[in-house]
Each structure stands twice: as structure tokens, then as C-alpha cells.
Copies of this chain bind each other. A is one copy, B any other.
Amino acid sequence: MRCSVVAVGTELLLGQIVDTNSSWLGEQLAAAGIDSLFQVKVGDNLARIVATLRATLAEADAIIICGGLGPTHDDITREAIAQIMDVELEMNDEVALVIEQMFTARGRRMPENNLRQAMVPRGAKIIEQRRGTAPGLICPVGEKVMYAVPGVPFELFEMFERAILPDLLARSGEASVIKSRVLRTWGDSESGLNERLISVINELEQVGNPTLAFLASGWEGIKVRLTAKANTDQQAVDLLDVWDAKVRAQVGDLVFGVDEQNMEVVVLKLLRDKKLTLGVAESVTGGLVAGRLTAVVGASDVFRGGIISYASDIKFDLLSVTHGPVVSEAAAKEMAIGARKILGSDIGLALTGVAGPTEQDGVKVGTLCVGVALSNDDVRATTFSLPFGREQMRQFSVISSLNFLRQSLI
């Protein structure tokens, strides 16, 4: 099964918007075992859209067309599809009614051009709109098919998962359910993970289902994605459970979270479950650890606050760090104790390091010392050598320090 993607919109060609929809679709299609051979961006020009659809469809079994379904005069995907199908556009009264009701519900007058969105090529099937005003379309062309979805990402994602992927799978004669699970890891490289998991990977190559893929996600860690095909949801989940356990048996506690659970969410949950509060002292990261933690809704019942001790004398005077080298495990421990005390938290987490561009007091760029004070008597510290590049070093510091805290808590 080959499914190409055509993204419509002059704003994409002008670089005003980066086309992330195609990438997202490519990832989803690949996980479902569907090849995406071409992805094309084309502007809001009827002749060029028609030519692109025709050429792309010649080389594929299906196309997903993103964008150009809105109400304005430059939204012409419907017209292009009708030309390829060689049919007329017809007003779909049900769709029109839904659009009118959306405006009524918001107490707003509907501009007349919104009814353009209710025009449907004869013979096309509607993908009901649930998040926006424009419906999606399923448009058969002989044995092949074109899907049209709005360019708004959250509308597109929902329609793809609800209507397009199931239709593609049915057409391909594949199992009807595809489920993925992402195991998030931190602490080893992609090649290191590959080595640890080689027996599992070999076994998976024999059985063919589920598939396993590594997704390097920078300072979010490396994700191990398992994708299972099955006839029912439950069968897919059962299969994922089996291989989830096999992966964990090899990589141990490198797995810190599942699916949407990033490191911040995991650490906050761990603290909440243990009824512990947290205070931080940051130097090299200058507030990024606290910034990431407080991005999570509900952080306030765990996170009390932080001291950003960027200047050394703030470390000495406010956090009571002993005068001496400030990028050291000893300083990190004292900073953690100081944060715990000043902020009145159960746990203190501290970071001190060198982000560069130049080394500091003989300490190399990329050095990070992390301290964790679990109590006044149980204080730990460790040192990391992180990748260069100021932004990269600082972001890696955030997740490395939170992972050290996580490990200290379990």
C-alpha cells in the first residue's frame, strides 16, 4: 500500500508555515506499514493542484490532501478533486446545517462564504467535522482513493485517526487495529539501546508484529516505539503488553515514562505520590528546570519554588555554599541543602555547571554537577559530561538532573 501526501497552500511554499502535517502523516503511515513515497507542497493554484494530484496518484494507491478546504476564495482543494474525479460539486445540506448550527451556537452570524465548505464532489463520502467547520472527504478514483482533510493540525490528526487510517487499512486488507506504545528512555545512546535490545529486535524480525522503532528526540530522550496490528483493541493492547515487558527486561530503569509522560510529568507524579515538595537551586540552567516543571498543570501542589544563583556570591550568601569552586559536587550538595532550607521544601535539587562557550575555573564546557538533598543527612551528588553547545548543554542538564532526582526517589 502506497499513500502519498499533498499539502496545499501558498503559505507553505513561502515558508510562512512549516509543513509539519506531512511529517506527522509520514510517521503515522510508516507505523501502520504503509509506504509514503512522495510528499509534495503546492500553492493555491487550481491547474497546479490538479496536475500534482494527477501525477501523484499515478504513483500511489492513495493520496492524503491537506489544506485548502476552508471558506475563502483561495481554498480550492474541492474544485481540484472534482476535476480529478470528473464530477460536479454539490451542496450537501447536512454539512451546511452543521456549519450553520456552529455559528448559531456561538451566537455569531455566519458569513455566506462558509457554505463553500458544504460543497462536496459527487460520489465523495463525508468525514464528519468534529473540531472545525470543514468536513473531510473520501474520494474514490477507480480503485484508488484521495482523502482531503483541513490543514489545521488538530483537525487533521483527529480525522486521520478516526476515518482515514481505518479506511486505508481496510483497503490494504490489513488487520483493522493499529496501536502504538512509546517507552521513553534516558541514559543511553541509540546504538547503546540497540545493543541492549538486540535479542528482542531479532525476535521481532522473526514474528513481524509488533514493530519496534527508535525515535531520537534530543533532550526529551530516546523513544522506543512498539506498533502492534491486531483484529481488536484488546488483542493489540495484549500484544503491546507482552513486548513492553520484554523491552523493559533488557533496558531496566532507563525507561522513565510511557507515551505522553515526559520527565517533568514523571518526577512531579513521583513526588506527589510520596507527598513530597520540591525546591530547586539552579545556576547553569538559569531557571530552565523550574520553567519546565511549572509548565505542567498542577505543578503547584509539589513545586514550591527556586533560587537562581547565577552570580557566585548568591550561592555563598543566600544558599550558604562554602567559598570555593562553584562547579563541584560539594557545591551542588550545599546548594541543594540551601534550596531545601530557604524554600521550605522536603527535597532540594541543585544544578551547577559550565554551558560555555569557554571553560570556567579550569572546569570543562559540558560539565554538570547535580545535587539532591532528600533530607539534611541524605544528600547525594553526581557529575555528567554533556554535549557541547550552550542551548544543548543546558537542555540536557534539565532532563539529566530530573532523571537523577527520579532515581534518587525510587
A interface with B by C-beta (< 8 Å): 12-20, 22-28, 30, 36-43, 45, 48, 52, 55, 215, 280, 282, 285-291, 293-295, 297, 299-300, 303-311, 313-314, 317-318, 342-344, 357, 390-391, 394
Contacts and interface: CB of A to CB of B under 8 A. Distances in A.
A339 to B, nearest CB: 10
25 contacts: A12-B26, A13-B26, A13-B30, A14-B27, A14-B36, A15-B22, A18-B18, A18-B20, A37-B42, A37-B45, A37-B48, A38-B40, A38-B41, A38-B42, A38-B52, A55-B55, A286-B290, A287-B290, A287-B294, A287-B306, A294-B308, A294-B394, A305-B307, A305-B310, A313-B344
Give the top 8 A-B pairs by smallest Cβ distance, nearest first.
A287-B287, A286-B294, A15-B27, A287-B290, A306-B308, A15-B26, A15-B23, A287-B291
Nearest to A356: B297
Nearest to A308: B306
B12 A23 contact: yes
B311 A308 contact: no
Nearest to A294: B286
The binding surface of chain A is classed by DSSP as: mixed
A349 to B, nearest CB: 12
B291 A288 contact: yes
Quickly give the copy total for this chain.
2
Contacts of A41: 22, 38-40
Contacts of A344: 313-314, 317
Contacts of A303: 286, 310-311
Contacts of A37: 13, 42-43, 45, 48
A297 B12 contact: no
A310 B304 contact: yes
Nearest to A311: B304
Contacts of A342: 318
B309 A305 contact: yes
A300 B315 CA distance: 14
